[in-house]
Amino acid sequence: MGKHHVAALLFLPVLILSSCSSRPGPLDDSRLRETDQETSNWLMYGRTYDDHRFSPLKQINEDTIGKLGLAWSRELGTTRGLEATPLVEDGIIYTTGAWSLVYAIDAKTGEIRWTYDPKVPRERAYFICCDVVNRGVALYKGKVYVGTLDGRLIALDEHSGTPVWTAATTGDAKQYSITGAPRIAKGMVIIGNAGAENGVRGYISAYDAETGKMTWRFYTVPGDPSKGFESKAMETASKTWKGEYWKTGGGGTPWEGIVYDPTLDLLYFGTGNATAWYRAIRGEGDSLYTASIIAVHARNGELAWYFQTTPGENWDYDATQPLMQADLTIGGRARKVIMQANKNGFFYVLDRETGEFISGAPFVNGVTWATGLDPKTGRPIESPGAGELKPTIVSPSPDGAHNWNPMAFSPATGLVYLNAKVGTQFLHAPDPKWKYDAERSNLALDGMYDGPLNAKLIGMPPATGELVAWDPVAQKAAWRVSNPTVEDGGVLATGGNLVFQGRGDGVLAAYRASDGKQLWTFDAGTGIMAPPVTYTVDGTQYLSVMAGWGGAPGLFNAPGSGPVKHGYGRILTFTLNGTATLKAPPFGHKEPPVPAITTNASPKTIHEGNLLFNANCGPCHGINAVAGPVPDLRYASKEVHQDFENIVLGGSRASAGMPSFKNILNTTQVRAIQAYVVARAAESSKQVK
């Protein structure tokens, strides 16, 4: 054996070791199960299968946080909401933006490696309730998976961004959309859908990650009985519906909150509201399996158990908020639990093997729809008259006491950190004359908001936003921080005894995890909804977050939301001693509007225009025509006014995301809306509201 061979033998173990530390092989199931160990990366939506969003990294910690500075920022050229959790593998960030665009970005420099645009038809915006958002991708064995607003699930090559396969998960039905991130469970890509506001039948599907072939599908609500039920679970559910329920689709869309337990081989997800919103209109009964937390066997998609958080749902209390798994000692007993801070204001702790209710408590003050939960079953005790067919102001609002924004769990403190919205209210005015209409949304809400939803005007205290540290064993808050804005971002917890959260006013803040003391802030230039993530590149810890204000709260732009900041969306990355400066392009109008045309419409017409505007245009162009991410029509030019009817009915700006309303509105109504917009411009011309 010569010298050469000895050297080769000596080097061999070293080579293996170095390749282990930098790249532990393909991102497969065994590596996903061990992601907790892999602190350099952020490989899954919630970092680990249990969705803790906790990173043990601690270079950035309660002592060094003062040195945290911007490393780089990257403008994404959109004014729409950004909700994605960036995933990070070996120094590359994989994230999504508005209209389901996918980006691969160098984590160290911010340089874009590739962009993939699925070219979602912009007229799809009409059937998307809550902005053209996307919450991120999944990574598995060299592929990047994204769900698109028009219901496709696409696998991309991780290195080039080139599509490998596409599955049309919602077919041609334009009422469906996908905003949620796909999840991975033993070789399958799991994807849900949204659209219960329009009237669709919800389902969740599993696709072979390699080929895109569907493995199974679980419907969340029963279909037409005359066609036979897909399963015993559907037959059981059908008994909890009245009339010809299948004609509306039923709803129950699983649009977020999907997690997998590889040990129990159970896949958990939440389901949305029923169609229509109001049970007295769609028919009394629990409407299974809407507004529920569901466990199915990952191997075949068959129901393992369900827990309905809001039976006979009536207030848009989707149960699609993040689901978090933990092993907790409760009452002296080790329990495998699953937890959720539900839209309906209650924090639930369930046994994730059986679905048994362990405990539940309101995590915010001012819940009006229920007085509590049955301590044995967890079924809510509704307030008297809560589901009656009459206009009622209810708290929490349909946006929930907590929504899709991810929460975090620190094993060091034993606390769950989440953004909570306290005292949000909504006037539920059910429309007894409602009939299902496939061309429009199907809430059965009677118009919308004659006048602002300002809490002061309805004689209730204004809503507030909080960062809450919740003790899930004791079911009580350990601490609360009051935020200046009602709507804030998702949360990250770290081994540095830190909790990070972005806010609606554009501030990214760090708090001490143990007591909530604010230690650091940074102005990201626009409101933040998305959760930060942390990872290392070449041994240095970084923190990244998508900043971009939108979603339902940003589009609707409700009065009383606090000092929210609209602007252009960007991704920001921080590190200790980072010295970059954020140069945020200016956004919005500095001067009061000057009406481009005059109107001689009667006050009655303008009032009708007000009602029509808030019902049809307000969900995107802002309540009372005060807009954020999309054009503020008080500033509309003469050209826009000249083309007004053609834009609204003719769809002349469909490619820009303004769909045609020809199936919804007629010419007279469009003229009334236009008169209202001009009146609002004149009214606002002295001061910008």
Binding-site size, Ca ion (CB under 5 A): 4
**Contact indicator for 395, 303 with CB cutoff of 8 Å:** no
Counting contacts by CB under 5 A, is residue 396 touching Ca ion?
no
Structure tokens at 483: 């935020």
**Contact indicator for 226, 258 with CB cutoff of 8 Å:** no
Read off φ and ψ for residue 374, nearest 5 degrees.
Answer: -60, 125
Counting contacts by CB under 5 A, is residue 180 touching Ca ion?
no
> Nearer to Ca ion by C-beta: 313 or 488?
313
Binding segment (CB under 5 A) for Ca ion, from list 35-43, 222-230, 313-321, 638-646: 313-321
Binding segment (CB under 5 A) for Ca ion, from list 169-177, 241-249, 318-326, 421-429: 318-326
Read off φ and ψ for residue 467, nearest 5 degrees.
Answer: -95, 120
> Nearer to Ca ion by C-beta: 341 or 571?
341
Least CB distance to Ca ion at residue 521 (A): 33
Counting contacts by CB under 5 A, is residue 316 touching Ca ion?
yes
> Nearer to Ca ion by C-beta: 403 or 494?
403
Any idea what DSSP says for residue 613? I
- Range list of β-strands (E), 564-646: 570-576
Among 256, 318, 487, 505, binds Ca ion (CB under 5 A): 318
Structure tokens at 491: 């949360």
**Contact indicator for 419, 402 with CB cutoff of 8 Å:** yes
- The DSSP H or E segment spanning 94 is strand 92-96
Counting contacts by CB under 5 A, is residue 272 touching Ca ion?
yes
Least CB distance to Ca ion at residue 316 (A): 5
Question: Of 616, 613, 629, whose CA–CA distance to 659 is shortest?
Answer: 616
Least CB distance to Ca ion at residue 280 (A): 18
The SS3 of residue 631 is: coil
Give the x/- contact pattern for Ca ion in 330-369, rule: CB under 5 A: ----------------------------------------
> Nearer to Ca ion by C-beta: 261 or 316?
316
> Nearer to Ca ion by C-beta: 118 or 272?
272
**Contact indicator for 273, 255 with CB cutoff of 8 Å:** no
Question: Of 321, 292, 297, whose CA–CA distance to 307 is shortest?
Answer: 292
CA distance 510 to 513: 9
> Nearer to Ca ion by C-beta: 398 or 659?
398
> Nearer to Ca ion by C-beta: 102 or 529?
529
Least CB distance to Ca ion at residue 624 (A): 23
262, exposed or middle or buried, with CB in 10 Å at 0-12, 13-18, 19+?
A: middle
Read off φ and ψ for residue 223, nearest 5 degrees.
Answer: -95, -160
Least CB distance to Ca ion at residue 143 (A): 30
CA distance 344 to 397: 9
Binding segment (CB under 5 A) for Ca ion, from list 66-74, 211-219, 269-277, 349-357: 269-277
Binding segment (CB under 5 A) for Ca ion, from list 20-28, 149-157, 166-174, 270-278: 270-278
Binding segment (CB under 5 A) for Ca ion, from list 9-17, 109-117, 272-280, 420-428: 272-280
Q: Estimate the crossing angle of helix 667-684 against helix 603-612, to 10 degrees.
A: 100
Least CB distance to Ca ion at residue 306 (A): 18
Among 40, 177, 220, 273, binds Ca ion (CB under 5 A): 273
Task: Kindly provide the b/e burial profile for residues 308-345, where b requires at least 16 CB atoms within 10 angstroms of the residue's own CB.
Answer: bbbbbbbbbbbbbbbbbbbeeebeeeebbbbbbbbbbb
**Contact indicator for 265, 298 with CB cutoff of 8 Å:** yes
Owner of token pair 């991810």: 406
CA distance 569 to 565: 11
> Nearer to Ca ion by C-beta: 270 or 360?
270
Question: Of 296, 393, 381, 300, whose CA–CA distance to 346 is shortest?
Answer: 381
Any idea what DSSP says for residue 226? G
Counting contacts by CB under 5 A, is residue 193 touching Ca ion?
no
Least CB distance to Ca ion at residue 202 (A): 10
Q: Which residues are catalytic?
A: 316
The SS3 of residue 127 is: helix
> Nearer to Ca ion by C-beta: 170 or 273?
273
Least CB distance to Ca ion at residue 240 (A): 19
Binding segment (CB under 5 A) for Ca ion, from list 86-94, 147-155, 266-274, 565-573: 266-274
Least CB distance to Ca ion at residue 400 (A): 9
Task: Summarize as ranges the residues that interact with Ca ion (CB under 5 A).
Answer: 272-273, 316, 318
